[in-house]
Amino acid sequence: MPKLYFIFLFFIAVKLIFAICYYFRLSVYRMSPHDKSKSKTNDISIVVCYHNEIENVTQSLKGLTNQSTNNLELVLVDDMSTDDTYMQLNKLSNDNSIVVKNDISHDGKKLALTKGINTATKDWLLMTDADCIVPKHWASTMGRYSENHKIVLGYAPLNKSDTLVGKFARYETYYTALQYLSFALAGRPYMGVGRNLMYHRSIFDSAGGFTSHTDIASGDDDLLINFAANSDNTTICLEPGSFVYSPGKETLKSFIRQKTRHISSSHRYRWSDKILLGLSSIAQMGLYISALILLFSQSSIWLVPLLAYWILMIIIQYPICKKLHCMDLWLLFPVYDIVMAMYYIIMIPFTFIKKQNTWS
């Protein structure tokens, strides 16, 4: 199988090019000290949307109302909740909070989020979700990184899980962050996650808000950044005090449903981003499909480049996993990398299925 062997080597080469050109930047990235006195906390509005989140309201507001700075504005949007979410928001919010209610039916949360942004009085908009736990110094830390930039991409890991789906969901979240953070460092920012994202109001206005993609439920975070972000106006924040944790999906059905919704926005990315991300995914699948076939060949020479690839990736990702506080994922990279290829293959049919225009 000489031809297959060279195809196998080609896919490994593609993955290594991505690792060296992009991931290595995140591996050697060193956070520059930022002057705490220059944090723009006086000019930040935190905007959070809630939809039937009665179980999460207390925990959410505990973190939001106990930030290390007292100058924040909280804009809390109840989006057509049918439980007691709105009542609890009014009951538990503080004097710096504005509680808004949206009663207009719509797909996703873009209308509610737009209402919250239009209600906010500050120039900097800091986003998270209702089921997220924000640390005490979250806003002040993100605010320090806004100097000389218009967009700050944060990191939003998932909580550790005991289920197989939950473990993989956590790795997939890490891998997504590995990509968008390293691409941003390379001057090619293409997305952010709404669980931990800050941008200047001018970014929202210049993009026309979410008007270019109101026909799909998702995209309030990644499509906005894909349209407006560039090498000059975007930075990343990897200080542990800014990490925003949230629970991941614990069942395969809920995980697939969530990722299917996310896929519905990725086809709207810039062509250059779609080509690069598509090439990485194809190489991932091709690498392990060809490896599976080579497993039945008489020669085992193909194991040498595969082991070399795994070793190099483990070396590159060691400092990344330390930065992102997920060292438990590090040595299991070969296992997760194989499962990631299987995940890509499984998700192919879902790209052609009509997307669920729901919140989750």
| pLDDT score of 289 | 97
pLDDT for 356 beyond 70: no
What's the mean pLDDT in 54-67? 94
Residue 186 per-residue DSSP state: T
- pLDDT-derived band at 107 (thresholds 50, 70, 90) equals confident
Residue 285: its H or E element: helix 271-294
Determine contact, residues 105/81, Cβ cutoff 8 Å. Answer: no
CB-based burial label for 226 (10 Å; 0-12, 13-18, 19+): buried
Residue that wins the pLDDT comparison between 107 and 318: 318
Distance CA 191, CA 166 (A): 23
Long-range contacts formed by 339-343: CB under 8 A, 24+ apart: 339/168, 339/171, 340/171, 340/172, 340/175, 340/284, 341/284, 341/285, 341/287, 341/288, 341/289, 342/288, 343/168, 343/172
At 194, list the tokens. Answer: 């709404």
Look at residue 31 in the predicted model and tell me its pLDDT: 80
Predicted pLDDT at 352: 63
Rounded (10°) angle between helices 164-185 and 252-266: 20
Cβ(224)–Cβ(203) under 8 Å? yes
pLDDT number for residue 268:
86
C-alpha R_g of the chain: 21
Among all chains, which residue has been given the structure tokens 């967009």?
151
Whether the Cβ atoms of residue 196 and residue 155 lie closer than 8 Å to each other: yes
Q: Write the DSSP assignment of 111-164 as a string of letters.
A: HHHHHHHHH--SSEEEE--TT-B--TTHHHHHHHTTTT-SEEE---PBPP-SSH
Superfamily of domain 36-171+188-251: Spore Coat Polysaccharide Biosynthesis Protein SpsA; Chain A (3.90.550.10)
Residue 126 has pLDDT above 70, yes or no: yes
User: What's the pLDDT at 121?
Assistant: 95
Yes or no: say if 248 and 168 are a contact pair by the CB < 8 Å rule.
no
Which pair of structure tokens corresponds to residue 16? 């290594």
The answer to whether 230 touches 210, Cβ cutoff 8 Å, is no
DSSP 3-state of 323: helix
**Mean of the pLDDT values across residues 136-162?**
94
Report pLDDT digits (tens) over 206-244.
Answer: 998 888 887 777 778 899 999 999 999 999 999 999 999
**Whole-number pLDDT of residue 232:** 95
Backbone angles phi, psi at 190, to 5 degrees: -130, -15
Coil, helix or strand at residue 84: coil
User: What phi, psi does 153 have (nearest 5°)?
Assistant: -90, 120
- In the chain, the amino acid numbered 328 is D
